[in-house]
Amino acid sequence: MSSEVQSHIPTNGCIVELGLGPGYLAEHLLNLLPGVHYCGIDFSRPMLDLARHRLRAHAPRVAYLQADLVQDNWRRGVPTPVHAIVSTWTLHDLGSRKHVSAVYGTCARILQDGGLFLNGDFIKPELATHEYEPGRFEITTHVQLLRRVGFRDAHCLAVLENELESPTAAQNYACFKGLAQRPA
């Protein structure tokens, strides 16, 4: 994710993270890219407080937004222009393809033309017989949803810990990429 972000956004660009959590990814990206601005979105006030504490050295460059990605119109609180949107271990918790697709669509509308979208999340492997929660679905479905809402170059960058026989809740993880494209 780091190399993708580095190669796609300007030195003073803006990154939005969906599901900021305690701020681990934000801290890494803010240290790596000292000129970027960051907006972290999370549903949980305690997680935002943890992130605020972790990221205090970067305080002038970070904004925080408490929002439910499904229920709230969170895009209104996002500073623009947005050059990249990142998310890890978050969107599967939205509970359905419909909700993930809606968030993908909002991301496509927020990003400037050519803006980068990266989603690293838990998936259901293509050949899995194990029953997963409804927010986990196949790589092909993620890619189709990204394309349907307007991302170009939508594809899977990597699959990690692919376990079909006896998966744990923390296995079967993939990272997806898409580039925002404004309609002609």
pLDDT of res. 182: 77
**Residues whose CB falls within 8 Å of the CB of residue 137, separated by 6 or more in sequence, listed in order:** 97, 100, 123, 124
pLDDT of res. 164: 82
pLDDT of res. 184: 59
pLDDT of res. 163: 82
Residue segments in the chain with a per-residue pLDDT below the cut of 70:
183-184
pLDDT of res. 108: 97
pLDDT of res. 73: 92
- The pTM assigned to this predicted structure is 0.95
Residue 131 · residue 178 · CB < 8 Å = no
Fold of 2-180: Rossmann fold (3.40.50)
pLDDT of res. 100: 97
pLDDT in tens, 62-105: 999 999 999 989 999 999 999 999 999 999 999 999 999 999 99
